[in-house]
Each structure stands twice: as structure tokens, then as C-alpha cells.
Amino acid sequence: MQEMHQQMKQTYEGTLQALTRALELRDHATWGHSGRVVGYALAIGEKMGLSEAQLNQLAWGGFLHDIGKIGIPDAILLKTSALTDEELEIIQLHPGLGYVIVSGIEFLEGAADIILLHHERYDGNGYPYGRRGLDIPLLARIFAVADALDAITSDRPYREGSSIEKALEEILAQSGKQFCPECVNALLAVGKDQILTIQERAKHSEYYYDLPREIVWFPEQDKVG
């Protein structure tokens, strides 16, 4: 029975990783983003003394947080200029779409909350519900800080990424506003060195894809068919 459960879990995990890869292949701007953001979130969670089970949910929620973007049209998802109000409304559906994708999977309950609530803000100005403070589950509050760190330090087509120092300053300035103060403090306790290590490790992890050609590979012929 236990072996069967283990096998099912592996099947789920493989499927979910495939979903994350599918999304990253489509949205190149977020290449490698999942690996880094999960690394940051876990480092914050460890500083806050989360249990193994919570860290596990945090990791899955992290990998899959933007999975709902699979349902957003390319014309909006890949647009590099400013979005219209209507386009913004459509892109803001992605947490709900993602929740629908994973909500039937029992072992992802905590992760589903992260997917649904990763754009909520501590001050109540986020979406989809405008939840405030501790009404946002802890894992989603942690994830929001990790996601911001990656967004600020990553290059975008229209701007270069900031340094880690500058990113930490920016996030600290939003402590108690956009972000949960406890989570911000934990990120500061993680510190620059560990953040650098996570970035480096993400580059070499199986979740990082540098260029499409790196992952377009063919298995040895005698092993297929």
C-alpha cells in the first residue's frame, strides 16, 4: 500500500514538473524563475522554523505558482509594453486558473493556497480577494517576499535587474505595507551570501534552462520505440 502511495506521489510530481516546464518554455521571461523563487522561499521558511511538511507545500506552491498563466493568451502573456486595463484584468485571473488546475490534488492543499493567494498584499491592496495581514496564509506571505526578490533582481526586456542589496532595501521599505514584516525579517536574516548561493545553485539545478537548445535533446535511438 505504501509502495503504491509512493508511486502515485512520484507520478504526480513528474506531471507537475512537466506543467512547470511547459509554462517556462512558453514564457521565456520567467526562465529559471521557479527554481530561484523556490530556493528563496525555502530559505525564508527555514529561518521561520517551518515544519518539513510546510516546507514541502511551500516548494510545490513555489514551482506551480504561475501555472494558471497557461490559460492566458500569448498576446497578453508575452506583451512587453504596458498592459491595458482589460488585459490586466485577464492576467489577474491566473491565480484562480492555477487553483483550478491543482485543487483536485489532495497532497497539494497548502500549495493550492499559495497559487491562489500569491498576489495578495499584506496591506490589502493585492488580488484576487484583497485579503489583509494574517488573513493571508503564512506560506503565501512567505512566497510573496521570495517572488518579489526574484522579480527585482531579474532582468526584464525593458530594464536590468537590481543588485541584491538594492532589492533587500526595496523589500524592507515595503515591510508592513506590501509584505509581512516577519517574512521580511526572515529574508534579511537569510542574507546576501545565501541568496547568491541559491542563485548559483538554481543555475545548475534540473529546474534551470538556459536556452531552449539546452533542453531539446533526443534520447539514444536504441532506447526508444
CB of 94 to Fe ion, least distance (A): 6
Residues 139-198 that bind Fe ion (CB under 5 A): none
Q: How many residues bind Fe ion (CB under 5 A)?
A: 1
Cβ-based nearer residue to Fe ion, 91 or 172: 91
Q: Which of residues 53-112 bind Fe ion (CB under 5 A)?
A: 66
- Give the shortest CB-98-to-Fe ion separation in angstroms: 8
Phi/psi at 20 (nearest 5 deg)? Answer: -60, -45
3-state secondary structure (DSSP) of residue 82: coil
Please report whether residue 113 would count as binding Fe ion according to CB under 5 A: no
Task: For Fe ion, give the closer residue by CB, 47 or 148.
Answer: 148
Beta bridge partners of 156: 159
- For cell 516548494, name the residue: 59
Whichever of 66 and 120 has its CB closer to Fe ion, that residue is 66
Q: How many residues does the chain have?
A: 225
Centroid of chain to Cα 56? 13
Integer Cα distance of 106 and 83 in angstroms = 35
Instruction: Determine contact, residues 83/76, Cβ cutoff 8 Å.
Output: yes
Residue type at 47 in one-letter notation: K
Residue of closest CB approach to Fe ion:
66
Q: Which is nearer to Fe ion, 95 or 110 (CB)?
A: 95
Residue placing its CB nearer to Fe ion in the complex, 56 or 92: 92
**H helices present in the chain, as ranges:** 2-26, 33-47, 52-64, 74-77, 85-91, 94-102, 109-117, 138-153, 164-173, 181-204, 212-215
Give the nearest distance from C-beta 52 to Fe ion in angstroms. 26
CB nearer Fe ion, residue 127 or residue 209: 127
Query: Rounded to the nearest whole angstrom, what is the least distance from the CB of residue 85 to Fe ion in the complex?
Result: 18
CB of 147 to Fe ion, least distance (A): 7
- Residue 158: half-sphere exposure toward Cβ, Cα within 13 Å: 6
Q: What minimum distance in Å lies between the beta carbon of 119 and Fe ion?
A: 6
CB of 119 closer than 8 Å to CB of 95: yes
Residues engaged in binding Fe ion (CB under 5 A)? 66
